[in-house]
Structure 1
Amino acid sequence: MKEATARIKINRLLEGSGWRFFPEGTAPANIRLEPGVTLKTADLDTLGDNFEKAGKGYIDFLLLDTKGFPLIVLEAKAEEKNPLVGKEQARKYARSLNCRFVILSNGNLHYFWDLERGNPYLITSFPTPDSVTGYQKVTPNPQRLIEDLVDDDYIALTQRPNYHAEAAWRNEAERSGFVQVNKLRFLRPYQLKAIHALQRAVKDGKDRFLFEMATGTGKTLTAAAVIKLFLRSGNARRVLFLVDRLELEDQAKKAFAALLCADFQTVIYKENRDDWRRAEIVVTTVQSLLFNNKYQRLFSPTDFDLVISDEAHRSIGGNARAVFDYFIGYKLGLTATPRDYLKRFDKTSPTTRDPREAERRLLLDTYRTFGCESGLPTFRYSLLDGVKEGFLISPTVVDARTEVTTDLLSEEGFVVEFKDDTGEDQQEVYKQREFEKRFFSEATNMVFCKAFLENVLRDPVSGEVGKAIVFAVSQHHAAKLTQILNLIADRMFPGKYQSDFAVQVTSQISDAQQFTINFANNNLLGSGNVLPSYKTSKARVCVTVGMMTTGYDCPDILNIGMFRPIFSPTDFIQIKGRGTRKHNFLEQLFDAGIKETVKEPHKKAFKLFDFFANCEYFETEFDYDEVLKLPKPKDKGEDGGDPPPYAETYEHLGSDILAGIKEEMIGLDGMRIDRMFFEKFEEVVLENDFIAQAIESGHWDRVIDYVNREVFDKPEEYYTLDKLRKAAAVDRRLTLREILEKIFGLIPRFKSKDELLEEEFAKFVADVKPEEAAAIPAIKTFFKAYVTSDQVRHIIESKHYTDLATNPVFSSSDFRAVPPKYRTFVPEYVKDYVSLNQFAA
């Protein structure tokens, strides 16, 4: 039965990918079975009984090209066997038929093997005939990839092939202007080192690479050089460039067009759905490919020979990794988040919801995905490296805490004592993560803003407050801070600004994206407010939540304010990175007389204001450049005002009796009222333009914050996450993101607990590649039990193995069937890579 089931599954997978057992119109059949096997239409779903013993001892599929020549050998194995056991048999068979490609499958696990490229690659669907035919046109030659000479003018030679022969280049006095006018880009020494490190990795037989490069070091330019190297050497026919936000899609397309358009064409997938195949470089967001599993429906695993993941830590997280792993070929990850920021948390707690723990798992997964489990990327260039070599600027960290925020940051928290309605003494404790969520203090925000404006770096030309970005907790918090900053600026600089000193730049604000562009171009709400000949934005401070982090380039930023606690290393690195770029302020000044009076025109520093000890967390024993002791803000209620707000309670004073009782078993579909509740919630969020746009742009932090604040717990329906989970009737704990992904079609349905377990185990097998094929069922049983059962985890961790004798989930005999090395390896793997919270009921 297992053999027959495997065959049926393989048949359906082949047909689903466009392969034909029988002629269809003018299209001939392109699947042939080995001699001695006669196939009839009626036999398609039944053929397979004992198929490995039929004929010559096996039955293979031979997949043909358009001319009827052998293209792929498909070696089929029974379900209980690892398909890799047929590897050498398939290789011999393929060689005898002059086939370059092999598929190994047991109906559940499938490997695609290009005999000219190395090892079999785990795939989730079979490639289409057209895609493999196109893939065959690329004849990989790793030696060319290794030996191709990459010098600092590698990109410039594409932009202007004969630049070095032109008079303006040869004249040293004119050279700088020539480069600027023609926008020629030359690789910096460290960018060359990155390319050379990749070439060495290829020489060592690797096909996955990770570049860890600080914000501001030109990852896109480096990626362009890698793309040219692969396309020019014939090791890639087409490249997929994945980004995680909508605005980065257009940014990447423009960058590659400017750098490589003379040789290669770049398109954005959503703008070229019908003719994307004409381009060598295809740019798209991960969200676009995830939508209704578009990557599986519209693409074949062999459509791209090189896949690059920009901001890899974000763009391969969660479901997105499935997109990245779907495609066969070389993989390159780009990230600014160093592994140095990985912190250890209590891994034994399955319900930990600390966002830093989730971030740790994502970072670990990033390094694992790119074959860097040791923590050493293919190439690393840190902020410190950039500062030492004169390409970047290190921050001046300003550690500023009030007594209130100091308490919020402490282990004890900020304790508020009050009397309840009965007169009993009660107390409420608040932590840093609750600032501006449950704990509100206008006085604290006022102190933050005042300290910020009194200590900022000034513009070296105009003497104004240097351009600044302030990062707030939420959109409401951003609105508050913007108002306070404008009020203080009006007192500090009378008549200079009319409430346009600070601007809220968040997704709820119309034209917010254009605001970010105008701020970078120095014309936000006007320009040259102090000196008409000096082009600098009239608005001096942008207050945002997350819009101006990843990929935002504004080199004349002098001040950054972290007015919120930060739990993500990625967010911390990106926020800090907004100020690290160098800048010459004289480029904005058009009065030669004034230029001579500017003493320090070059940006040599920027201030990073930290009100929540973020640097202390991410930078061990950080040597703070400046410490501000801030005054303690007055607590609300000190001067007879209202006390801190507490949740109101309702006390029912009337009598009540039990009127009746009825029992009803609810099926897996849940109650109709639950389904209607979920459908109403779907309508609410689908009709909300802000939610739709933010999801399309990939701004999940904004979406989650907005739904929690603007949709949940409102009087109309009182939507809550718990209610939605019950209404969805899934046998595990759903996240709000999953619910929204389902509503907006990013996932076709909610996966059951067992489906998720199967996915996680498939990742485990792909990463670990167990050689003990016969033991895989036992390892899987152990894996699932350890993930889903608190009791099993406790027994394994405490080594009280005798308790397994009475355990209904995982018995002693089950444990004995697991090979000894996996008894410790599986728990360690789960702790590092599997989020247990999603499997809770």
Structure 2
Amino acid sequence: MTDKEATARIKINKLLEAAGWRFFAEGSTPANIRLESNATITSSDLDAFGENFEKTGKGFIDFLLLDAKGFPLIVLEAKSEGKHPLVGKEQARKYAESQNCRFVILSNGNLHYFWDLARGNPYLITSFPTPDSVTGYRQVTPNPQRLIEEQVGDDYIALTLRPNYQSEAAWRNEAERPDYIKANKLRFLRPYQLQAVHVLQQAVQDGKERFLFEMATGTGKTLTAAAVIKLFLRSGNARRVLFLVDRLELEDQAKKAFVALLSADFQSVVYKENRDDWRRAEIVVTTVQSLLFNNKYQQLFSPTDFDLVISDEAHRSIGGNARAVFDYFVGYKLGLTATPRDYLRRFDSAKSGTRDPREAERRLMLDTYRTFGCENSQPTFRYSLLDGVKEGFLINPTVVDARTDITTELLSEEGYAVTLTDDAGNELEETYKQREFEKRFFSDATNQLFCKTFLENALRDPISGEIGKAIIFAVSQHHAAKLAQILNQMADRMYPAKYQSDFAVQVTSQIADAQQFTINFVNNNLLGSANFLPAYKTSKARVCVTVGMMTTGYDCPDILNIGLFRPIFSPTDFIQIKGRGTRKHDFREQLFDDAIKDSVTAPNKSAFKLFDFFANCEYFETEFNYDETLKLPKPQSKGSDDPQPPPPPGGTYAHMGDDLIASLQVEQITAEGMKIDRMFFEKFEDAVRDNATIADAVEAGQWDRVIDYVNREVFDKPTEYYSLDKLRKAAAVDRRLGLREILEKVFGLIPRFKSKDELLEEEFAKFVSDAKPDEAEAIPAIKNFFKAYATSHAVRGIIESGHFTDLATNPYFSTRDFTAVPAKYRALIPNYIKDYVSLNQFAP
């Protein structure tokens, strides 16, 4: 047996045992692994198995995995590490058919595929399914034709809520119908939502198993998802559905929606650790963070536990390490996103460089579209904000472009220069570029100017006449507290004795009950209600000042004003924040006096204002009309002719003492690092784990706030001087770590830092899954090229310049290595890596 064959055998045996398969009986429980038909083995045979584990005198040996009754369940075709597992595909199919097996596993110990012969193509898996899971999975016999032919009308959800609604008198009477629908909470699919379901049915007919719905915020993605879930469960093409969200507050919200829409037919639960409720439910809702923690998704679930996985806000819930959770499960996949890929249509990544925040967004979006099998980066179904506005379902913003000299200079290429005075009275000039400004600089004068401009120009409530409900997005929690204080002070002067400091409320993770505040704001009872008009239920608090809590999935249709009091660098964040105001609303729904109702001249929300103090709309090149531009007074600042601080003293250090070096020793530090480095990292772990603000935000999946807080409140403090560079060195990993990855390790979301080669292997496995190379014998050469191009700047330069003769002297990747790569992969791999692989993670 060769080393590669022996290694593959050991790995496969361990994977089988880890998944609960047994080579030998355990008490009264029989073995459920057999080698070939009629073949038996002993423990000694297993330890020293033949000359070649793939061949015997009778031919190829397969693992035959049995069900609880001893009947064939899965054929496992094993290959040596040097062979791609898919080379055994047809051989395994024949053996499976001869054994009346529906399922096949193809593995070489490193790459594994699960193949449901009744469904479609082999699916890349990271662990083997358990016996119970496959037995349950077998209960669902996929019948795509039933799914395709299922009649889905606009009342598809209404029929679940009230199956006989059409025969009831109140429905048949058109005058009574609106009140009947409201009283019974019937939900009907809008034309575009119905079209989305029909497009998915067509995609299934075309042989697709992955789908992506790109639908603008406010268009009812959850209702559409409920229709898709019912379609799969009702047609027998799914036994259980997993609905993934990326934030803790969206978990309960989604569960409540599915209970309200589908509980008459299907049970919905939120997955909780150490509870088996999910096994008795058809719809399981959870956050990706819950499953990532200590790799729970691998420990508690089998790849075949869910037949349909839906990823809400897919670009977030499958990003980074969360992608592993999504890819782990076999079956149909649906992604929902409000962020259109075309949003970056004019972004040139080659000119902007890899550090531009839009580059990460671009790669994330491309990866999302690739993950869901969207050819030519086109979603399965698209319904944009402009579509919603055109058809009367959504509202476009009125952009209030209100720039100051400070914000204009800040967003220039050079950044914003400000002269400060240090403790000794020395004047120092500092330049604040975009990211630095977000963390460090906000003057009181500028904050007051923002708030004054906002209050003087905000839309008023059409019923009560007070400032319309608003959400303001601040730079940080400290900045949010400042803004709330200024707004409350100004509101006291505008409306004496009316608010008692309840006009503006800070809603951030540091605030107790902040999540409940967001719910109360929607329900119009935040800090009280009906402050101006007793018969009108609207929140006493008019403005919520937040950082990131009220971005994704927050539905408050009576919002009239959105304030961007900070620069935004993520297209996804901009789309989400802007989307908080696009929903339509009839304000008479909150009014309980019919006489007043009749006097309201404009009860329907027809616009909302987006206050943009940092040219965010221009930064993202939106197509909205700038309906209103305000000229603000110039802030007072010092001129540019102020004297510059003197340069630091130069020169060298001259040793003037008597003592000289007596001995010198050189020690090579291993990959484990110095003890002081390891202790430094451990102290950092303790510091952030003990911080309740960080822990709560991590649990809620609010990574933007976590990273902002650590950068601002933990790094570069006089006590320890923690910094990202120091932590990278202390971690002693052979590649560049990001702050999020470090924090995920600290909080147990990942068990350890993966090495550079482990990440390369994972990226290559994704490439293989995507490209499906047929040239099995060339896989080692293709992998070698993939790794060299991803990790070596020199190799990339040679390939991109076309100076292939330089490979002759390259110690990392030679001319012979390059010629061994099939011609089509020499072009395919560089293009693939540019689009889908972040090279920054492989830097030392």
TM range (shorter): over 0.9
Alignment of 1:667-682 (within 5 A): 667-682=670-685
Q: Conserved in 1, the CA contact under 8 Å of 2:269 and 2:277?
A: no
**Residue 275 and residue 425 in structure 1: after superposition, are their counterparts in 2 closer, same or farther (change >3 A)?**
closer
Distance 1:514 1:71 in 2: 50
Q: Conserved in 1, the CA contact under 8 Å of 2:353 and 2:359?
A: no
Number of aligned residues: 839
Alignment of 1:100-139 (within 5 A): 100-139=102-141
1:329 to partner: Cα distance: 0.4
Match of 2:340 among 329, 335, 338: 338
Output one character per residue of 1:411-458: Cα deviation in whole Å (capped at 9) or x when no partner. 232234689999999854322333242333222222221111111111
**Residue 347 and residue 458 in structure 1: after superposition, are their counterparts in 2 closer, same or farther (change >3 A)?**
closer
Distance 1:99 1:110 in 2: 18
Alignment of 1:2-401 (within 5 A): 2-34=4-36, 38-47=40-49, 49-270=51-272, 273-343=275-345, 347=349, 352-401=354-403
Q: Conserved in 2, the CA contact under 8 Å of 1:804 and 1:810?
A: yes
Aligned to 1:833: 836
Q: Which amino acid aligns with 1:773?
A: A
Q: Which amino acid aligns with 2:382?
A: R
Moved more, 243-252 or 265-274: 265-274
> Residue 173 of structure 1: SS of its match in structure 2?
coil
Structure 1 unaligned residues grouped into runs of 5+: none
**Residue 342 and residue 646 in structure 1: after superposition, are their counterparts in 2 closer, same or farther (change >3 A)?**
farther
Structure 1 length as normaliser, TM-score?
Answer: 0.96
1:672 to partner: Cα distance: 1.3
Alignment of 1:470-485 (within 5 A): 470-485=472-487
Distance 1:375 1:532 in 2: 53
**Residue 750 and residue 623 in structure 1: after superposition, are their counterparts in 2 closer, same or farther (change >3 A)?**
same
Q: Conserved in 2, the CA contact under 8 Å of 1:350 and 1:835?
A: no
> Residue 629 of structure 1: SS of its match in structure 2?
coil
Q: Conserved in 1, the CA contact under 8 Å of 2:733 and 2:755?
A: yes
Q: Which amino acid aligns with 1:498?
A: Q
Output one character per residue of 1:243-291: Cα deviation in whole Å (capped at 9) or x when no partner. 1111111011111111111111111111672232111111111001111
**Residue 315 and residue 562 in structure 1: after superposition, are their counterparts in 2 closer, same or farther (change >3 A)?**
same
**Residue 420 and residue 812 in structure 1: after superposition, are their counterparts in 2 closer, same or farther (change >3 A)?**
farther
1:494 to partner: Cα distance: 2.9
Q: Conserved in 2, the CA contact under 8 Å of 1:268 and 1:284?
A: yes
Alignment of 1:408-557 (within 5 A): 408-416=410-418, 428-557=430-559
Q: Conserved in 1, the CA contact under 8 Å of 2:564 and 2:610?
A: yes
Distance 1:652 1:486 in 2: 56
- Are 1:717 and 2:720 counterparts? yes
> Residue 72 of structure 1: SS of its match in structure 2?
strand
1:345 to partner: Cα distance: 5.5
1:187 to partner: Cα distance: 0.9
Q: Which amino acid aligns with 1:138?
A: V
Output one character per residue of 1:323-343: Cα deviation in whole Å (capped at 9) or x when no partner. 101100000001101111125
Distance 1:644 1:317 in 2: 45
Q: Conserved in 1, the CA contact under 8 Å of 2:427 and 2:645?
A: no
Aligned to 2:775: 772
**Residue 779 and residue 437 in structure 1: after superposition, are their counterparts in 2 closer, same or farther (change >3 A)?**
same
Q: Conserved in 2, the CA contact under 8 Å of 1:3 and 1:49?
A: no
1:4 to partner: Cα distance: 2.4
Q: Conserved in 1, the CA contact under 8 Å of 2:530 and 2:537?
A: yes
Match of 2:822 among 810, 815, 819: 819
Q: Which amino acid aligns with 2:692?
A: D
Q: Conserved in 2, the CA contact under 8 Å of 1:348 and 1:831?
A: no
**Residue 141 and residue 646 in structure 1: after superposition, are their counterparts in 2 closer, same or farther (change >3 A)?**
farther
Q: Which amino acid aligns with 2:744?
A: E
Q: Conserved in 2, the CA contact under 8 Å of 1:441 and 1:636?
A: no
Alignment of 1:615-634 (within 5 A): 615-620=617-622, 622-634=624-636
Aligned to 1:762: 765
Output one character per residue of 1:92-143: Cα deviation in whole Å (capped at 9) or x when no partner. 1111111111111111111111111011111111111111111111011000
- Are 1:791 and 2:794 counterparts? yes
Q: Conserved in 2, the CA contact under 8 Å of 1:399 and 1:609?
A: yes
Q: Conserved in 1, the CA contact under 8 Å of 2:84 and 2:776?
A: yes
Distance 1:543 1:45 in 2: 65
Output one character per residue of 1:774-826: Cα deviation in whole Å (capped at 9) or x when no partner. 11111111111111111111111111111111111111111111111111111
Q: Conserved in 1, the CA contact under 8 Å of 2:439 and 2:712?
A: no
Aligned to 2:595: 593
Output one character per residue of 1:726-769: Cα deviation in whole Å (capped at 9) or x when no partner. 11111111111111111111000011111111111111111111
Distance 2:48 2:486 in 1: 74
Distance 1:59 1:136 in 2: 25
**Residue 480 and residue 424 in structure 1: after superposition, are their counterparts in 2 closer, same or farther (change >3 A)?**
closer
**Residue 526 and residue 47 in structure 1: after superposition, are their counterparts in 2 closer, same or farther (change >3 A)?**
same
Match of 2:731 among 719, 723, 728: 728
Distance 2:429 2:179 in 1: 68
Q: Which amino acid aligns with 2:756?
A: K
**Residue 414 and residue 791 in structure 1: after superposition, are their counterparts in 2 closer, same or farther (change >3 A)?**
same
Moved more, 709-718 or 570-579: 709-718
Match of 2:704 among 701, 705, 712: 701
Distance 1:743 1:53 in 2: 47
Q: Conserved in 1, the CA contact under 8 Å of 2:459 and 2:560?
A: yes
Distance 1:595 1:563 in 2: 35
1:659 to partner: Cα distance: 6.5
Q: Which amino acid aligns with 2:818?
A: F
> Residue 51 of structure 1: SS of its match in structure 2?
coil
Q: Which amino acid aligns with 1:745?
A: G
Q: Conserved in 1, the CA contact under 8 Å of 2:399 and 2:612?
A: yes
Moved more, 87-96 or 646-655: 646-655
**Residue 809 and residue 374 in structure 1: after superposition, are their counterparts in 2 closer, same or farther (change >3 A)?**
same
Moved more, 333-342 or 586-595: 586-595
1:469 to partner: Cα distance: 0.5
> Residue 103 of structure 1: SS of its match in structure 2?
strand
Distance 1:430 1:681 in 2: 28
Q: Conserved in 2, the CA contact under 8 Å of 1:214 and 1:381?
A: yes
Structure 2 unaligned residues grouped into runs of 5+: none
1:490 to partner: Cα distance: 2.4
**Residue 677 and residue 396 in structure 1: after superposition, are their counterparts in 2 closer, same or farther (change >3 A)?**
same
Distance 2:691 2:426 in 1: 44
1:347 to partner: Cα distance: 4.6
Distance 1:659 1:735 in 2: 42
**Residue 234 and residue 486 in structure 1: after superposition, are their counterparts in 2 closer, same or farther (change >3 A)?**
same
> Residue 258 of structure 2: SS of its match in structure 1?
helix
1:664 to partner: Cα distance: 2.1
Alignment of 1:545-624 (within 5 A): 545-620=547-622, 622-624=624-626
Q: Which amino acid aligns with 2:144?
A: P
Q: Conserved in 2, the CA contact under 8 Å of 1:486 and 1:501?
A: yes
Q: Conserved in 1, the CA contact under 8 Å of 2:428 and 2:645?
A: no
Match of 2:749 among 728, 734, 746: 746
Moved more, 371-380 or 162-171: 162-171
Moved more, 391-400 or 302-311: 391-400
1:64 to partner: Cα distance: 1.0
Q: Conserved in 2, the CA contact under 8 Å of 1:308 and 1:332?
A: yes
Identity, in percent, stands at: 79
Q: Which amino acid aligns with 1:473?
A: V
**Residue 644 and residue 456 in structure 1: after superposition, are their counterparts in 2 closer, same or farther (change >3 A)?**
farther
1:562 to partner: Cα distance: 0.9
